[in-house]
Amino acid sequence: MPPKELKSPYGIMQSMVDILDEQYPAHKEKGTGIIQFYLFHKNQEWVCYIKTGENRLEFCTGRADNPTVTLRCDFFHWLDLASGKLNPVWGMITQKLRFQGQTSFFKTLPKVDFNVNIKDKDDPCTAFEKNATKKWQRPQSVIIINASPRSGNGYTEQFISRLAEGISDAGANVEEIYLSKLKIKTCTGCWHCWIKENGCVFDGKDDFYELFEKVNRADMIVYALPLYVDGMPSILKNYFDRSVRRVYPYICSDTKKMRHPRRIDRKNQAMALLSICGFQEKIQFKVLGMHFRAIAHNTHIPLIETIYRSGAMFLFNNPFFYKAQTEILENMKKAGTELTLTGKISRQTKKKIEQKISSKKEFVKMTNYFWFDKITNQKDINDY
Ligand SMILES: Cc1cc2nc3c(=O)[nH]c(=O)nc-3n(C[C@H](O)[C@H](O)[C@H](O)COP(=O)(O)O)c2cc1C
């Protein structure tokens, strides 16, 4: 589609008059007359007027007979005046605005009042959001979303299964959901879910709604994913896009970074992030961590813990890493229990999971050897 043409000053004036007209009947200083404009924009003069009547405003192009007041100015200066950014007296002194006739007649145009009374517009940060660990209550139900496009066949699964065991040992019901096995259509950004109370256009046509409901019922959600291009796999991003219906379109004014008030009334839900990646350094997760913190803020669900395991693939492909692999997986189980019981993973457990498995130099040599072997001998990637 070619880019849309910008609206002309006439189009903008018409839209402005449409808004003013809605508020005109309630305006106290109504009057019958004509406000004539000569607006200069892009080397052109745009001649138009607003007719004010008993109960409505009308926009017309061209020249009117006997206008009550006339304004000649740059189109942008008129917009500044109309939006209150330009003081009319200052506009006259600086000769940005040139009036003729009864200037006070401009008072017949209402000042646009954008105030609306919205229930639940403000949704302040709860004490739980601020410090979930302090207010921790053991979750009864935990959902682990496995967002590896390789589902149960990926390395992510190896970490999840141990974590799930630990969660279950702590007494919570835990369910793992394989995102890639579900049919979830791509969010088209149609805003149906925000405008119509009855939800998304795809409800009943794919598996999302059932998942959405399940997630809303869970006390804790663990997002488990392989790092893809420094971020999350697209199936998970799409899941978050489709989850935008968790919040209202309105905006809360209580936080430094704007967000929407929650529509799903769950105030004590928490989330945790488990991610693995191919490269060896922990810094690889920096962007993902920032993204998840933003998601936590936007959804009002505190991100209580992050577990990052870099070099994950090679943990399973190099016999020399067997000791580290054993220790890491055992501690994943421990992490599941600690997380469920306290909302935190102890420093020792995390240190074991996120331990450095080799020097950078060795890691590079070993990885290159691995891929060279796969390519030269055309070996299957799961062949280890
Ligand atoms: C498309 C794609 C993109 C990837 N991007 C990154 C990356 O940016 N950084 C990284 O360290 N690893 C990256 N990886 C490696 C995976 O994170 C790693 O192999 C992980 O263990 C795969 O988990 P899985 O077997 O559960 O799918 C990428 C892998 C794929 C397939």
pLDDT digits (tens, 9 = 90+) for 63-114: 999 999 999 999 999 999 999 999 999 999 999 999 999 999 999 999 988 8
Kindly state the average pLDDT of the residues 326-342: 98
Tokens of 382: 């799961």
Residue 221: DSSP 8-state: E
User: Which of 298, 286, 287 shows the shortest CA–CA distance to 243?
Assistant: 298
Nearest CA to ligand 1 atom 1: 228
Give the Å distance between the CA of 284 and the centre of ligand 1. Answer: 11
Residue pointed to by tokens 């007209």: 21
Q: How confident is the model at residue 215 (pLDDT cuts 50, 70, 90)?
A: very high
CATH (one of 1.10.10.10, 3.40.30.10, 3.40.190.10, 3.30.1050.10) for 9-108:
3.30.1050.10
Q: Which residue has the tokens 């109504």?
A: 30
Please name the residue that has the structure tokens 């008072």: 107
Return the best residue to mutate from 150, 153, 227, 317 for the ligand 1 pocket (most ligand atoms within 8 A of CB).
227
Six-digit token string for 161: 């299964």
* Domain 127-376 coded CATH 3.40.50.720: no
197 in Cβ contact with 220 (< 8 Å): no
| Percent of the chain's residues with pLDDT above 70 | 99
Find the mean pLDDT for residues 281-303: 97
Residue 384, pLDDT > 60, answer no
Token pair for 120: 């639940």
- Mean pLDDT for the chain? 95
| Confidence at 380, pLDDT banded by 50, 70, 90 | confident
Residues with CB under 6 A from ligand 1: 148, 150, 154-156, 226-230, 276-279, 284, 312-313
pTM: 0.92
Could you tell me the two tokens for 172?
Answer: 């919570």
Q: Which pLDDT belongs to residue 120?
A: 66
User: Hey, is 299 helix, strand or coil?
Assistant: helix
Beta bridge partners of 252: 259
For the CA of 312, the closest atom of ligand 1 is 21
Per-residue model confidence as pLDDT tens digits over 35-61: 999 999 999 999 999 999 999 999 999
Distance 155 CA to ligand 1 centre (A): 10
Contact 161, 186 (CB under 8 A): no
Model pLDDT for residues 106-141, shown as the tens digit of each residue: 999 999 888 888 876 788 899 999 999 999 999 999
What region, left, alpha or beta, does residue 353 occupy, with left being phi > 0 and alpha being psi -120 to 50 degrees? alpha
Question: What is the predicted pLDDT for the residue at 383?
Answer: 54
Name the E strands within 120-227: 141-146, 173-178, 220-226
pLDDT band at 341 (very low <50, low <70, confident <90, very high): very high
Listed by start position, the domains of the chain span 9-108, 127-376
**Residue among 145, 178, 229, 288 to mutate when testing ligand 1 (max atoms within 8 A of CB):** 229
Confidence of residue 211 (pLDDT cuts 50, 70, 90): very high
Which residue's alpha carbon is at the smallest distance from atom 4 of ligand 1?
228
Helix (H, G, I), strand (E, B) or coil at 259: strand
